[in-house]
């Protein structure tokens, strides 16, 4: 009810039709996408800082529970963060430099292998060598773009470290602030707490399982005598954040090196070994830890890779899932957009929620 000069006027806030709402939301999404893409060079370091904070914040809280003062806990965790970040960057850079020096030799080996098998293939008017070269080049180019994007974000390490430090300091003081609030927390604070918990849980579980997969891959390749085994283990860890496509992008380089080292049997052996490790990580370890907490449609997860890669560059694929989780939780916070958030869930999750609701009603 709005009162004007001519008297009381009833304004129905639900008078906007559904097609009009869809048009408004779509226009807002397009404008937001264009704006984020324009400032992607600024957003990437910020997002990397936020997700670094999400990974390391539980360590600060663990130290504080061990009666280590908050500021000292933050300093210790920042030192660990710098050591891991700089050490990983240097290892990647050194390994890539060594790999680039051996590429001409690998290209010669690939050419000789393709020439030896081409005589057994029927003539189809298409060069098998060129097709395989294009596939390998595409995989290496995509992998290189993602790695270079992450390293470019890492080149602004001062900004990332400073931002992460402030976030960790705020995190160290959060328990005191929350105790002062008591039970009378505003609704938006509760929503923020839920958002933080969901994203932190996902990032921690994803990091832990990726670490197990990366270590297992490195050990497997070291045992098989594959060159740069530690680099491929790091690649498996990094690309583990990319659902569906990450495994294939990470598996191609060691498969090629296995082909050069032992022939076709070596390539198949590497593929089988990495596939077993990936299956254990993705289908056994991660689901057992994460349970039903993700609640995202597989189609949405797949499409989010392309969206965030378009907006933030190739490295955006690394944080596509947590960013999509953030968007979903934000949509859930409003009555008008809650239905969109529901559509983002997998059908199995919706069925489970409806079944649980029916059971609660019956009880």
Candidates 299, 302, 310; CA nearest to 346 is 299
Say if CB 43 and CB 308 are below 8 A apart: no
Tell me the C-alpha distance between 117 and 127, whole Å: 12
Tell me the C-alpha distance between 73 and 61, whole Å: 8
Q: Counting every residue, how long is the chain?
A: 363
Residue 299 lies in a domain: yes
Structure tokens at 308: 């965030």
Phi, psi of 4 (to 5 degrees): -120, -170
Burial class of 353 by CB neighbour count within 10 A (0 to 12, 13 to 18, 19+) = middle
- With a CB cutoff of 8 Å and minimum separation 6, the contacts of 319 are 47, 48, 51, 241, 308, 312
Instruction: Please tell me the predicted confidence (pLDDT) of residue 219.
Output: 94
Residue 189 lies in a domain: no
Instruction: Please tell me the predicted confidence (pLDDT) of residue 120.
Output: 61
Residue 15 lies in a domain: no
Residue 298 lies in a domain: yes
Residue 216 lies in a domain: no
State how many domains the chain has.
Answer: 1
Instruction: Please tell me the predicted confidence (pLDDT) of residue 136.
Output: 62
Paired with 8 in beta bridges are 3
Residue 87 lies in a domain: no
Say if CB 289 and CB 208 are below 8 A apart: yes
Residue 123 lies in a domain: no
Paired with 9 in beta bridges are 2
pLDDT tens for the chain, residues 1 to 363? 444 444 454 545 455 666 777 788 788 888 888 888 888 888 888 888 888 888 888 888 888 888 888 788 888 888 888 888 778 777 877 777 777 777 777 777 777 776 676 666 555 455 555 656 666 666 566 666 666 655 565 556 677 778 888 888 777 665 555 445 544 455 555 555 566 677 778 888 888 889 999 999 999 999 988 888 888 898 899 888 888 888 888 888 888 888 888 888 888 999 999 999 988 888 888 777 665 556 778 888 888 888 988 888 877 888 888 888 888 888 877 777 778 878 887 765 444 444 443 444 344
SS3 call for 11: coil
Instruction: Please tell me the predicted confidence (pLDDT) of residue 79.
Output: 87
Q: What is the pTM of this model?
A: 0.72
Domain housing 329 = 294-346
**Residue 261, Cα to own-chain centre: how many angstroms?**
32
Residue 332 lies in a domain: yes
């Amino acid at each position: 009810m709005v009162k004007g000069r001519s008297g009381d006027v009833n304004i129905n806030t639900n008078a906007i039709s559904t097609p009009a709402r869809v048009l408004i939301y779509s226009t807002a999404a397009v404008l937001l996408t264009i704006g984020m893409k324009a400032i992607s060079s600024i957003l990437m370091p910020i997002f990397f800082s936020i997700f670094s904070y999400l990974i390391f914040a539980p360590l600060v809280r663990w130290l504080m529970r061990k009666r280590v003062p908050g500021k000292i806990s933050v300093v210790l965790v920042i030192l660990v963060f710098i050591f891991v970040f700089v050490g990983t960057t240097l290892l990647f850079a050194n390994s890539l430099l060594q790999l680039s020096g051996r590429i001409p030799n690998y290209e010669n080996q690939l050419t000789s292998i393709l020439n030896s098998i081409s005589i057994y293939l029927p003539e189809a008017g298409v060069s098998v060598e060129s097709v395989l070269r294009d596939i390998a080049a595409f995989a290496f180019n995509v992998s290189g773009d993602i790695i270079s994007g992450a390293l470019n974000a890492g080149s602004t390490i001062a900004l990332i470290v400073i931002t992460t430090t402030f976030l960790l300091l705020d995190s160290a003081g959060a328990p005191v602030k929350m105790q002062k609030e008591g039970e009378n927390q505003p609704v938006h604070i509760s929503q923020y707490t839920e958002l933080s918990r969901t994203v932190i849980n996902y990032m921690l579980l994803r990091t832990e399982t990726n670490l197990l997969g990366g270590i297992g891959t490195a050990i497997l390749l070291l045992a098989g005598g594959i060159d740069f085994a530690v680099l491929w283990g790091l690649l498996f860890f990094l690309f583990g954040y990319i659902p569906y496509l990450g495994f294939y992008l990470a598996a191609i380089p060691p498969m090629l090196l296995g082909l050069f080292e032992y022939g076709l049997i070596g390539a198949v052996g590497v593929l089988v070994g990495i596939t077993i490790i990936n299956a254990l990580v993705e289908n056994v370890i991660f689901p057992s830890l994460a349970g039903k907490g993700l609640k995202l449609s597989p189609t949405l997860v797949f499409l989010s890779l392309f969206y965030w890669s378009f907006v933030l560059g190739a490295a955006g694929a690394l944080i596509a899932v947590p960013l999509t989780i953030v968007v979903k939780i934000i949509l859930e916070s409003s009555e008008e957009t809650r239905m969109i958030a529901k559509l983002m869930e997998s059908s199995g999750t919706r069925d489970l929620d409806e079944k649980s609701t029916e059971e609660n009603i019956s009880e």
